[in-house]
């Protein structure tokens, strides 16, 4: 019975944590529930970076009722001074008697310190409750804090036979309204969208989140030779200063200046062969505190990301349409000659969005 109750309150904490989705970077999503005598006396979640941590929000709501209570939260309480004080100190002072947590802090520099501090203060600690669910919730943060690079999602929309556009480049619309709305939910959650310049030239996308109350992610354009049109719609959007054009070392200075005057940033990287290296770019994005990046196309960019091994998760939308062999392929050449060399997807899930189907899974899980 005790385990069932633990899971029940932990799932409440999960629902609370999800309220902070897309707003907590570079911090994790955390929810907290305080229970005393079978009654919930306080709840909280991490709303945004720099704000109260979930456990502190729950303690403030509970007040004196926190004494003798059990705290349920998904992540080990912090034990170091950051933008906010250590949560372990607040928990000890509040008189909480037990902490039930989903998982250790994945940061190798601090992992386990919070639990040790609580145990030394004679607070009971029970961890790894719904650990798999919590790891999936904060998969981007875990990758970011352990590898110092963002979590990378490859999102593509294609016909059943694997084309993202017709031979003329027409791609509007492959998927239906429900799938496209979900993509805007994803844009509201991730820190950056990345596309190749070919997608900008062909589709002139805005790369914004068009949900009421949604937030626009950073827009990152891979453009080795600075082919991007100066009239591109993404330069005209709100927050144009959140646009980064990634190019090579030898590009026209005048066009660089013009793009910067439009409010965008120019990042220059030396080519590796014919391409801008993904790993160097991701490390620089991580230094900005960007935890998650969603690649939205096109086929060449998708292939390069897969070849360099930077993709963690795939989201492939398939529409019940057939375009034929002359269509533009969703993924460019990978040089695979034998089935043993294929990119294998793990933990595959399938979901319907109206007539369309989403196939998701992991490469680096």
Burial profile 59-73: b = 16 or more Cβ within 10 angstroms, e = fewer: bebbeebbeebbbbb
Q: Where are the alpha helices (DSSP H) in the chain?
A: 2-17, 54-62, 87-94, 113-120, 131-137, 139-147, 177-189, 197-203, 253-261, 278-287, 299-307
Q: Is 270 exposed, middle or buried (0-12, 13-18, 19+ CB in 10 A)?
A: exposed
Q: Is 183 exposed, middle or buried (0-12, 13-18, 19+ CB in 10 A)?
A: buried
Q: Which residues are catalytic?
A: 55
Nearest residue to 123 (alpha-carbon basis) of 144, 101, 103, 145 = 101
- The number of C-alpha atoms within 13 Å of 101 and in the hemisphere containing its C-beta is 23
DSSP state of 355: T
**E strand or H helix that includes residue 99:** strand 98-103
Q: Give the integer Cα–Cα distance in Å for 62 and 42.
A: 5
Q: State whether residue 337 is helix, strand or coil.
A: coil
DSSP characters over 2-54: HHHHHHHHHHHHHHHHGGGTTTSTTSPP-EEEEEETTEEEEEEE--STTS--H
Residues in Cβ contact with 57 at an 8 Å cutoff, skipping those fewer than 6 apart = 32, 43, 44, 45, 46, 47
Q: Give the integer Cα–Cα distance in Å for 78 and 211.
A: 33
């Amino acid at each position: 019975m005790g385990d069932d109750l633990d899971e029940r309150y932990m799932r409440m904490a999960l629902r609370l944590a999800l309220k902070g989705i897309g707003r907590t970077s570079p911090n994790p999503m955390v929810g907290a529930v305080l229970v005393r005598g079978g009654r919930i006396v306080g709840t909280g979640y991490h709303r945004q970076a720099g704000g109260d941590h979930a456990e502190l929000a729950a303690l403030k709501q509970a007040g004196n009722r926190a004494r003798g209570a059990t705290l349920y939260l998904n992540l080990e309480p912090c034990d170091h001074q950051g933008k906010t004080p250590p949560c372990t100190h607040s928990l000890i002072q509040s008189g909480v008697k037990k902490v039930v947590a989903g998982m250790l802090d994945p940061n190798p520099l601090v992992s386990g310190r919070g639990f040790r501090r609580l145990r030394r203060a004679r607070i009971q600690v029970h961890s790894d409750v719904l650990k798999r669910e919590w790891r999936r919730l904060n998969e981007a943060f875990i990758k970011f804090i352990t590898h110092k690079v963002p979590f990378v999602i490859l999102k593509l929309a294609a016909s059943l036979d694997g084309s993202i556009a017709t031979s003329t480049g027409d791609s509007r619309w492959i998927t239906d309204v429900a799938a496209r709305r979900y993509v805007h939910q994803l844009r509201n959650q991730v820190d950056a969208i990345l596309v190749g310049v070919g997608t900008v030239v062909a589709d002139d996308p805005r790369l914004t989140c068009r949900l009421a109350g949604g937030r626009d992610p950073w827009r990152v354009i891979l453009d080795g030779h600075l082919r991007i049109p100066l009239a591109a719609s993404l330069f005209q959007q709100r927050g144009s200063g959140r646009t980064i054009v990634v190019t090579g070392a030898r590009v026209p200075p005048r066009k660089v200046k013009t793009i910067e005057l439009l409010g965008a940033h120019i990042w220059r990287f030396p080519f590796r062969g014919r391409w801008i290296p993904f790993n160097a770019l991701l490390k620089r994005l991580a230094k900005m505190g960007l935890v998650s990046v969603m690649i939205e196309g096109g086929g060449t960019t998708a292939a390069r990301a897969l070849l360099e091994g930077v993709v963690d998760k795939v989201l492939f939308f398939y529409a019940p349409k057939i375009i034929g062999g002359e269509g533009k392929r969703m993924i460019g050449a990978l040089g695979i000659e034998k089935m043993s060399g294929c990119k294998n997807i793990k933990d595959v899930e399938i979901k319907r969005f109206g007539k369309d189907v989403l196939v998701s899974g992991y490469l680096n899980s």
